[in-house]
Every structure is written in C-alpha cells, then in structure tokens.
Structure 1
Amino acid sequence: MLTWVHGAVRLRSVSNESGGAGDRSASGAGTGYRHDLDGLRGLAIALVVVFHVWMGRVSGGVDVFLVLSGFFFTAMLLRRIETTGAVGVGSTLYRTARRLLPALCLVLAAVLAATVLAQPYTRWADISAQTLASALYYQNWYLAGAELDYLAPDPSVSPLQHLWSMAVQGQFYLLMLAVVGVWSWTLRHRGRLLVWLGGLGVASFWYAASGSAQHQAWTYYDSGARAWELLVGAALAVAAPWVSISKPVRAILAMAGLVTVISCGLLIDGATEFPGPAALYPVLGAAALIVSGMNTGNGPYPWVNRLLATPLLVQLGGLAYSLYLWHWPVLIFYLAEYGESSPGIEGGLLVIAVSLALAVATRRLIETPLRLRPSATRSGMAGHYQRGVGVAMSVLGIGVLAAALSWQGVVKVNPAHPPSELAVSRYPGAAALFEEIAVEPEPMRPTVFEGPRDAPAPTFDGCITPNREVRVCTYGDVNAARTIALVGGSHSEHWLPALELLASEHQFRIVTYLKEGCPLTLAEEPSYAVAPFPECREWSIEVLDLLAEHRPEWVFTTGTRPRWDDGDHVPPEFIDVWTALGDRGLNVLAIRDVPWLRRGEVHYRAVDCLAHRGSSFSCGIDRATALDPDNPADLPASRYPNVFPLDLSDAICRPDRCLVAEGNVLIYRDEHHLTASYARSLAPELGRRIGEITQWW
C-alpha cells in the first residue's frame, strides 16, 4: 500500500527576504534537481508492487512515500511564499488537483466497469461507496469503519483499498496549507514553523503508538496516526537550510537509509505494526536518504544517491503514481477471476506487465499533456490535445461520480430488511436436515441482499466490542435464576438467536461477553489468529475474572477452529482456556465451529457466489474439506469433567456436502457466520442437545 507524492521539485537557492537568519533557500537542498529522490520513488514503487504481488505483505514503501510527500509539498509551499509572498491556496489546490485527479478518475472508471462486468452484483454497493470515498479523498476513513463493522465486506479484497493512502495525503495537504498559511502571516521564522511541526508530529506519533496497541486495524488508516510520517518530511524541508554534514556522514546516512528501505518489508510486518513505533524504521530510512543529498553544492552525491539517480530508477519514479493506481486493481481482479490467493510467478509477471503498460499509457496520454503549462500549448495540435484530454477527463470524472451516486441512491431507497421471523412450514431451515422433512421450493430468505445484515442483536446494539472494553449485556429471560454466559468472538455471538428462543421457552438468562475476532485466549499471539488483536489476551483475562465472580451455571463458547488445509481441530489455546475455566469451577458448553467457505486458501461470501450464477450446492463446500469425520473436541474434552462438546454439524451439513442454504433459508451471511434466520431454525436441535447435558428441561 503506497501513497502518491507531489511531483518532484526543482530545488533552487532563493533568498528569503523576511525569513530568519540562515534561511538560504526554500528547500535547503542545494542546487540542482534531486534525481536521487525520483529514484527513491522508483525503488519504493518497485518494492510495493513486488511485495503486493508475490509476498502479500506491506513493504514499507507507503511510509517512504509519505515522508517524501511531506517533504516535497512543504518545500513547494515555502518556495511559493519566498517568490510570491503568499501560499496561494486556490492555485495550489488547482495545480494539485490537475496533477492527481485525471489519472485517478480513469482508474476509478475502469474499476467500476470491471466490477459491473466481472463481479457479483452484491459487491456493487460497496465498490460504488468506495469509489465515492476515493474520489473525495476519505477512503481511509471508509476502510477504518469497515474494519470495525462486521457487516462490511472484507476491505482487503477491494480493488480500491490502496487509495486510502491518497486520502491521507490529500488531508495532509489541507493541513499544511492551513499551518504554513498561518505561519506566513506571522514572523515567518523557520524556527517557529519547525516547532509547530515538531509538536504536531510528536502528538501524532503518541496517538499512533497508543492506537496501534489498542486497535491497530483502525489506526492503520487513521489520518491522525499517519500524520507524523508526513510531518517528518515536512520538518526536513523546513530545517534543510541548516543541514551541514560531512561527506563521510552523508555516505553513512545514505547507506543506512538504502539498507533500511530495502529490508523493511522483510523484517517487519507493517500491516500489523504500522503506523506505530515500528514505522520509524522505514521513515528514518527515507529521511536519511533525503538528508544525505542536501546542500552538497557542486560536490558529488554519495554513491548511494548517485545509484538512485540512475535512469532506470528515475524513469520508474516518474511512473510511480500511475503504476501505483493500476497495479492493485489489476492484481485483485486477476485473483478474483482465477480464484487464487496468490498469482504465482507467471501470473505475477503478467499482472506487473499489464500494470506497467497501463501506467505508461496513462502517463503519456493523460498526465504529461495536462501538466504542460497552458502557455506552452496555446496553439497547434498540442493545445487541442491538451484541451481535449482535459474535457474528456472532466466528463469521465462526472460520469464516475454520477454512476457511484446513482447506485448508492438505489441502495438507500431499497434498504435490506432481513426477516425477523419465518413461517416454519415454508422455511424450515435446519429442520430440513435434522427432521428430514420434505421441503417445497420457495424464494430463499434472507435474500442475497438481506443476508449480510441478518446478524444477531449484539452486532447492532453494541454488545460485541471492537476494542479492549468488556461489555456485559443480558438477553433472554432477564429475571430468570439460571444463566448461560455466551463468551468469545463473533462465532459465539452468531448462536445467540437460537439461544434466545430457548431462553424464552425454558426461562434462563443469557449474559454476553463478546469481542470481535477474539475467542477466549490466554496467549499473546494465538496460533489460529488471522489478524492481530493485541488486547485480546487482556480482555480474556478480565472476562475470566468476571465469570468467576458472577458464576453462571454454564459458559457457552466455541470449541474448535478450522485448519487451513482440511478439516478442523481444537487449538492448544482453547484447551488452556478450558483449564482456566475448570480452575474457576465453571462448566463449559463447547460448540463445534461451523464450516468456513473456501476454495483452497481463498474464502468467499455465500451471497457473492449465489449472485454470480452459483447455486446452493455449487457455492457450498465438501464436508470432508471443511470438517473432520468426528468432532475433534470429543477426545480432549473427555479429560475435562467441566467441558461438554456440542456438535450441530449434521444440522448444517449433509453427509457429503455443506450447502449454503437449506430448507429455503440462507445459512451464511458471509464466509463463515450463520444468518440469524438459520440460527433460529437450529434452536430445536440445539435445545435438545443442551437439555441432555444440563438436565434443565
């Protein structure tokens, strides 16, 4: 994930009539054009593309580009003040938009078209919403919200996910225009501006560090947490006139910076740690390379900077913006088309080749003509072409916004309303399996549009927490003397609709202790975790203490997890929790997890498969692939007198295959969560099993 940097700046020595002592130039970078920084952009985009295509992880390139963006944009504002006496807010915004928006509109239009042609219509609402967010530069906040919303599609499979960084950059531009503008109306002393930027940077870094420890998935996209990286570059632009270091120190900085930038993605998993303190690694590497080439006068750059200034890297740096725009959508649509989690060597080379071709065409046919000054193309074919491209891109941009807004309007006018109750005679759901009754075909409910929103109550009333807070809520018969505690993550939560029906019939309370993505665990990094949740262990320990204090008769939680090859298992972390619950004298109902829909290593939503010409059978998964022949919790639970396994797989799957709908009811609301409607249809069978164990009825 990369962000675009403002165009390379011609770094000149310009006197500062109103600046403080020692202000020699706007950039302080000495004379000449910084080709090495163009090359650094080229190196960064190469790392980003390679890591995305073949390694599936963050390279640190985004952080390098954020530093460069802060450096270039701030240096440009300072030069403008020196030459014109004012920031020029209107002209700066116009020039920036003229540089960035045409290519962006082209890519957004291509993504919309490819989505309509190749993606299921259940994806259109999300892609149209992300198109608006990308075009209006708030994509980072849209994705941050998706990380907290269990009903939102997985943002990692969006062809527009990468544009979050452009949104962060655009918001930073507005911030810097305000800060530098206010500064320009005062004493214009660089030292004061440097103090302002330093204060903002320290506050942002503290916010990023604390946020990464609490909810890293949100913080990753948070502009406030990302600002310090851009402010490092901005501070370098302000402080550059005072930079004076010896050649040996320059050489050391350049070498250290290059090694750091190249090695970052190999040493650090940025997706799980940035923009917290770990991001200092690529940020300081980029800063070292910027400083190593400052104020060299007519002397030679260090050899590292000269290496970065070689034609290949400089030309690649010139393609950085357009290549960044194209490579991620091309990769995502390739993977979606072939149903793979990685393109492999040949597929990856094809993705890169197509992305490069599109980037070159975009730069030559759109970006370069529009960047020419009107005076240079006032007449002749060049002028006509520039005006034609400008008009075409304006029309295209309006069309993109109109299309995205129109589909969002359709969604708003036709909201999905999942059924709160279904007639058992027409929609028996799970009863079609465990009672083996004949079912007359009816239109499936919930529909593919209703399915993603057919979730249990905690998803909507805030009783499943996304963060460290322990939220305790009560459902069922709130005045009953008997209690079942529903504990864990969303795979415990989706059983609540069935438990609510049983609680109403058999008079017991359901007290929930739920956290997104967090089965009870005493491990810092559980073996089954697919995403980092640093606070999960702390949350679990507090919940265990509360359970010991409140002493429910039974604790209902998940007892198995899927394996990433075939079948399912009991992770060792679950057994540790059983021990902890036994030590506290608590009895456990350990429910076997539902089958997770996947093809190979690729998970897919049932509603997307059904909307893409699939059937309930074809969109399902072979039982032998999803589940072991026997409940894997049976054997380890036999050693724990307080643990009682529950297995309702026969009420979800047929003997040979797990379909995505049974008894005219949709089973899955996404890749691996039950719809509330199907969970309610499981209540009779779940009640029979619980009754046998608890002897409550």
Structure 2
Amino acid sequence: MAVVLYHLWPKRITGGFVGVDVFFVISGFLITGHMYRELMANSGLSLVKFWGRRIRRLLPAAFVVLLLSLAAVYLWVPATLWESTARQVGSSALYVQNWVLAADSVDYSALNADATVAQHYWSLSIEEQFYISWPLIMVALLWIVRRLARRVPTLSQSPRATLIAGLTAIGGASLAYSIHETSVNPAAAYFLTPTRVWEFAAGALVALVFLDRQFSGPLATALAWTGLGGILVSALLYSSDTPFPGYTALLPVVGTALLLCCSGTTSTASPAWLLSRRSATFVGDISYAVYLWHWPLIIVVPYALQTDLNWELKLGILGLSILLSWLTKLFIEDPFRKGPWLRGSVRAYSFAAIGMMVVTGLCFGLTTLANAPAHVDPALAASSCYGPGALNPANSCGSVLGTDAPNPTAVEVSNENTNPLYRGCQASYGGSELVSCDLGVPAASARATVAMVGDSHATAWYPAMDVLAKKHGWHVVTYAKASCPVTTALRVLSNEKNPENQSACHAWVLRLNDALKADHSISAIFTASYSSAYQFKSASGDPLKVPAVDGFTQMWAGWQAAGKKVVVFDDVPRTNGQFIPTCLSKNPGNAMNCALPVSQALPPSMNITKAAKQAAKDGVIGVELRREFCDTKWCYPVIGSVIVYRDYSHISAEYSRALVPYVDAQLGALKIGK
C-alpha cells in the first residue's frame, strides 16, 4: 500500500498543500526502510550505489521534460519570461529550485511574477536533497553512537535504537523550526528544506518502528480511514491563507503515518483494497511523469493556442499529460532504470553531470537572448509624440499608442525588474533599517539637498528624480521600503500572512520621520506611494478621522513644521493586474487588450492623491499626472511607443524619464536652492 500511495499522490506546486507532505512522509518511509534492510543484510550502506539508483530512477525523465520545456518556451512563451524561466529551469536541473523560490518569495521585485514551466520542481529539489543527505545522516548517527559507546559501555549500540533516537531528535528540531519560521517568514518557509525534514523523519520513524509490519483488523481499518480522512480534510479545507507547513502540516503527516502502519482488513471496506485496484496502480505507475509534464503543459498550451485556460482546455491538458506520461514511462523511465545504458556508477554519475551541464548551458543561452541591451532611438525620443506627448491633442500624433514599435522593447523593460537600475536602494519587508542612496549631483557641489521617500513606487520615480536633480543642481537622498507608504497610519494588506511586516513598516516610518526632521541639509521632501493597494487604520495612541488620508497629511504637516517643503506624486493608474510587458508580448498588434478603462484604473482608493489635494491649501505641492497616463476613456499600457509599466504597477524607467518635463513644469513655484 505504501508503494501505491507513494506514486498515487501527486506532488503539488506553489499554493497547493497536503500532496507534498504525503509524498515526503512516504518517501522517508520507503527510503529509510530500504536503507535499514541493506544495513542489516550487509552491515553497511553503499552510498555510491544508492545515489546511482536514484539517478537512474529520477533524472532521465526530469532532464527530458526540462529540455523540451525550454524548447517550448522559446517557441511559444513571450520573451519577457525567458530570463525567469531559464533561472528556474537551471536551478531545477541542479536541484536547488526550492531555495531559488524561497529567495524570490522575499524579493519584492520577484513578487507577482508569472509562473514558469519549472516552478513545480521545487518539491523534486527537496526530494533530491533528501536522497543526498539522509543516508549521510544515518551513517553519521551510527558512527557517533559507536564512538560514544567506547566511553559509555552501557550505551546501546543497536542500529535501530540509534536511528530511532537520532531521527526523533532531528525531526523534532525540524518541526520546531518549521513552526517558528512559518510564523515569522511564511512565504520562504514553504520552500525551505529544513522546514520539511520532519515530514521525511515521520515516515522514517514509521519504517523503523514497525519494520514492514502493519496493524490489521477492524480497528486498524478505522485508523486507516481516519488517516485518509485527515489527509482529505486538510486538502479540502487548507487554503493559501493557512500557515504552512508549521503545525498545520501535522494533520496530513499524521494521517499518512496512520495509513502506512495500518493495513486494516482485506475487505472492500479497507483503504488498502481501494489503493490496490488496477486503476490506482496504473496512475501510480505514471504519476512521476504526470508530475513532470502537467505543469509545463498548463503554462505553455495557453500561449501556444493564444487562449485562456477553460474547462475544455484543462481536460485536454489532463489527457495529454496522461498520454505523455505513459509514453515517458515506456520509452524513458523503464529503459534507463532497467536497461544497460546507465548500468554502473560511472555511467550514472556521468549522465547526471552531463545532463546538468547541457540544461544549464541552454538556460544561459536563453538568458543571453533575453538580455539584449536597453536602448532608446534618439530620433524617436526627440519626437513630440514620444511618450506622454502622444496624449496631447495639440501634437496631432494620431495613435496614443504610437506608430512605432515600443522602444525599448517589452523584454528590455521587463528586465528592469530583475536588473534594477538602483540596486540596493530599497529596504525589504523586515526590519526598520534605513537604506539610503544618492542621486543627482554630489552633495559637495549641490545647490540644495532633497529627499525622495516612500514605498517601491517611490523607487520607480528615481530615474525622473535623477534627471531633475542634475538639471537643477540638487543632491537627492533616497529612502524607500518595500510595501511601506510613509504615513502615520498603519498600512494594512489583506493578503499579508506576516503581521510583523506591518509593525516593521511603522517602525521604519517613525525612524525615517525622525531622521528627515533632524537632517537640516534637506530642504524639500518628495514622496510617492502605491496607496490604492492598501487599507489604513489608526496607529495606537494616534486616532485619525480618516486614516487613509489623514495619515499622509499629518506626516507632511510635521515635515513642513520642520522647515521642509513637500512634493507629492499622484498615485499612478492601476493596470489589469498582469505584467504589462508580458501582456504586450502576448498581444502583438493589440496593445489595447492590456489597457484599462479610466473608471477602473483610477479608483477612489487613490488616497495619496486625495491627501495631496486636501493639503494643497497648506502649501503641499501635488504633482498631477493623470493626463500623462490616460485620456477621457482609457489608461494606456503604451503611450507614444513607450511602455508605461515595467510590471503590474511600477512605471518603467523610460516612462519615468519621459515624464520629467511634465513634473518640472509643476515645480515652477517651488524654490529649492534658489
């Protein structure tokens, strides 16, 4: 029954739970049981042979799917996704994909990125790391106990007792770490190997305690159904809001352990009977290949057919996944595992090394193709119809989108996310450390020093501020923090799992406010925020009538009282939620599929814009740029052959610079350094 469960329960991708945990428990059960039997039969473990068997079993099909996925991406997927795809395919070939996704989960520029064809390989990466480390752990435990027994003769040297005690300690430490990390860093915790070790350990302990025995009889049947029920309940009730893995993973893990140790009866009332049917074993036989194939098909097929996923297409993908998986088992998995091609350790290890080099080499090539140098045609840039000028009826530009292809291209603009112009100039979610960078002219030769502060939308204005500062002789000091508007109110994100980010943001704002007030060299403060993305509430001890608006105006009033001038950028229009460069690549010649009506692009929740208008009577200067993004009906993804957004909300560096004349015109009354 364990073997059927091992294959029958598919591993799931990001956002899916339970299946991964079931798989990890059963994997720990099977592998530990196999190694213990080998240890008892041969008085030792052959690690070289063990790893060679894993190579023959897993790598041929995995490499084939990765290579064909790369080819499919090159043929059908927009070039804006090539770099991220190459990065994840390469890390999957090296079996470190889970660590890449863990890093991306706390990298603001990588959030909300489109899924790639290899995203599901994260669980296979953890599996391979388990296969490498678990035998070493078992050998190390036995060696340590033998050494200690020389000093403590009464210490038991039983391999079984040693492994049970050692793996219990390791599993307990991993569970404690998983619970802690899930509470403080849930996004990364989902992918980290240490947060999953205890699940393998749970299966391993079942194997060592029961030694291939199982409970049988009516009570065991009831326990088996209880275990299966726990798995199904967690599968149905857990969602993306469930803190995971942590303590919530105990339900599917314990449920799987019960299934493994309880065979129950042989009647049709037992889960064992259900899982031994031919239909179940067939699915089990091809499930590894199904796991490999299903996700690339889900990603690529809509691009290839230029359509969205619907139920008919999903059923077609399911059928194609089963067909490809059956063929993969017949012509790749079985021949490589049982045939002579990889027989012997030298062939197996050579195959693994060559396969990794081939896949990563092709990934490097795809990345090179995607990373063409950014440029702007000088003749096009000099035109009055380049960028925002295309929205001005007086320029008679015709199409707002522009008559030329976007320049820079969608790929070049998209690369601004992975290769930011001002790397290291934005604090991440955690902590309250002030991260600062310098723009414009050097402080020693500047006519004035100004600050640019806010969340990541403030960083999108850095290119414009750099140009403005060099024109006027300003030195710009930047302070930005991911997802943290500068307001005295508490910002609230409905989908945020970690409440510590909110307190870290507020602490950062208070620290920044003190620093700005105390810095007498700063004569003006520019600020921007993606305020329509948040809800707001009053901070403790500071009640606000309308927190979403009053939090901003209260902050600005404090700056003004400290002798600073205040300039506020309008909240930029919202988009359709897609990465705009990718949307444009998916819709060549029909950019309006990526546009949004004014009524949706300019929602009432643009609170920083409302606050600037309210504070205008107090001397706050609001930079209004609605007419440079929208006309009376539409807000555009491309304006005058310039792509407006580099992702789903942040304006591109090119459009930021193109807006400089329009920003500068509104600063005419602002005397800085004069």
Q: TM-score range by the shorter chain?
A: 0.7 to 0.9
Give the corresponding residue for 2:654. 677
Tell whether the 8 Å contact from 2:598 to 2:632 is kept in structure 1 after alignment.
no
Tell whether the 8 Å contact from 2:388 to 2:658 is kept in structure 1 after alignment.
yes
131 and 150 in structure 1: CA distance in 2 versus 1, 3 angstrom threshold: same
Tell whether the 8 Å contact from 1:105 to 1:135 is kept in structure 2 after alignment.
yes
3-state DSSP class of the match of 1:319? helix
Match of 1:227 among 197, 216, 219: 197
CA distance in 2, matches of 1:176, 1:593: 52
- Aligned-residue offset at 1:168: 0.7
Q: Does residue 85 of the first structure (1) align with residue 43 of the second (2)?
A: yes
TM-superposition CA deviations, 1:400-425 (whole Å, max 9, x none): 95365145147459955446997863
- Aligned-residue offset at 1:535: 3.0
Match of 1:461 among 407, 411, 424: 424
| Aligned residue type for 1:161 | Q
Q: Does residue 603 of the first structure (1) align with residue 578 of the second (2)?
A: yes
Give the corresponding residue for 1:332. 299
Give the corresponding residue for 2:239. 269
3-state DSSP class of the match of 2:290? helix
- Aligned-residue offset at 1:221: 1.9
Q: Does residue 624 of the first structure (1) align with residue 598 of the second (2)?
A: yes
Match of 1:594 among 555, 568, 572: 572
Greater CA drift, 156-165 or 328-337 = 328-337
Match of 1:212 among 182, 191, 205: 182
Match of 1:561 among 521, 528, 532: 532
CA distance in 2, matches of 1:181, 1:631: 60
Q: Does residue 315 of the first structure (1) align with residue 282 of the second (2)?
A: yes
Greater CA drift, 276-285 or 247-256 = 247-256
Tell whether the 8 Å contact from 2:22 to 2:253 is kept in structure 1 after alignment.
yes
- Aligned-residue offset at 1:501: 3.4
Q: What aligned pairs does 1:632-647 form with structure 2 within 5 A after superposition? A: 633=607, 646-647=623-624
Tell whether the 8 Å contact from 1:559 to 1:591 is kept in structure 2 after alignment.
no
3-state DSSP class of the match of 1:670? coil
Stretches of structure 2 that go unaligned for 5 or more consecutive residues are 147-156, 518-523, 539-545, 560-565
450 and 345 in structure 1: CA distance in 2 versus 1, 3 angstrom threshold: closer
59 and 346 in structure 1: CA distance in 2 versus 1, 3 angstrom threshold: farther
Give the corresponding residue for 1:541. 506
3-state DSSP class of the match of 1:146? helix
CA distance in 2, matches of 1:122, 1:457: 15
- Aligned-residue offset at 1:65: 0.6
Give the corresponding residue for 2:323. 357
TM-superposition CA deviations, 1:437-494 (whole Å, max 9, x none): 5789778543444323446978512533143453331534758876545122x22321
150 and 340 in structure 1: CA distance in 2 versus 1, 3 angstrom threshold: farther
TM-superposition CA deviations, 1:650-690 (whole Å, max 9, x none): 21334444444444443322333222222122123224445
| Aligned residue type for 2:598 | A
- Aligned-residue offset at 1:116: 2.2
660 and 242 in structure 1: CA distance in 2 versus 1, 3 angstrom threshold: closer
- Aligned-residue offset at 1:372: 3.8
Match of 1:446 among 408, 429, 448: 408
CA distance in 1, matches of 2:249, 2:422: 33
CA distance in 2, matches of 1:265, 1:467: 31
Tell whether the 8 Å contact from 2:448 to 2:475 is kept in structure 1 after alignment.
yes
- Aligned-residue offset at 1:356: 1.8
3-state DSSP class of the match of 1:273? coil
- Aligned-residue offset at 1:93: 1.3
Stretches of structure 1 that go unaligned for 5 or more consecutive residues are 1-34, 375-383, 563-569
CA distance in 2, matches of 1:90, 1:170: 14
Give the corresponding residue for 1:102. 60
Q: What aligned pairs does 1:438-517 form with structure 2 within 5 A after superposition? A: 445-454=407-416, 460-476=423-439, 483-484=450-451, 486-488=453-455, 490-505=456-471, 511-517=477-483
- Aligned-residue offset at 1:623: 3.6
Q: What aligned pairs does 1:15-54 form with structure 2 within 5 A after superposition? A: 35=1, 38-39=4-5, 41-42=7-8, 44-45=9-10
3-state DSSP class of the match of 2:454? strand
Size of the alignment, in residue pairs? 624
Give the corresponding residue for 2:164. 194
CA distance in 1, matches of 2:599, 2:306: 17
Give the corresponding residue for 1:177. 135
Tell whether the 8 Å contact from 1:36 to 1:306 is kept in structure 2 after alignment.
no
Tell whether the 8 Å contact from 1:513 to 1:543 is kept in structure 2 after alignment.
no
Match of 1:425 among 382, 404, 427: 382
Tell whether the 8 Å contact from 1:106 to 1:396 is kept in structure 2 after alignment.
no
CA distance in 2, matches of 1:246, 1:400: 45
Task: Give the alignment's Cα RMSD to 1 decimal.
Answer: 4.4
| Aligned residue type for 1:446 | P
Give the corresponding residue for 1:405. 361
CA distance in 1, matches of 2:249, 2:457: 33
Greater CA drift, 436-445 or 616-625 = 436-445
3-state DSSP class of the match of 1:673? coil
3-state DSSP class of the match of 2:117? coil
- Aligned-residue offset at 1:504: 4.5
287 and 59 in structure 1: CA distance in 2 versus 1, 3 angstrom threshold: same
Tell whether the 8 Å contact from 1:454 to 1:677 is kept in structure 2 after alignment.
no
Tell whether the 8 Å contact from 1:472 to 1:511 is kept in structure 2 after alignment.
no
CA distance in 1, matches of 2:672, 2:604: 25
| Aligned residue type for 1:614 | P
CA distance in 2, matches of 1:434, 1:208: 56
- Aligned-residue offset at 1:261: 0.8
71 and 544 in structure 1: CA distance in 2 versus 1, 3 angstrom threshold: same
214 and 39 in structure 1: CA distance in 2 versus 1, 3 angstrom threshold: closer
CA distance in 2, matches of 1:224, 1:40: 21
CA distance in 1, matches of 2:120, 2:229: 25
Tell whether the 8 Å contact from 2:90 to 2:360 is kept in structure 1 after alignment.
yes
Tell whether the 8 Å contact from 2:532 to 2:603 is kept in structure 1 after alignment.
no
CA distance in 1, matches of 2:221, 2:570: 60
409 and 110 in structure 1: CA distance in 2 versus 1, 3 angstrom threshold: closer
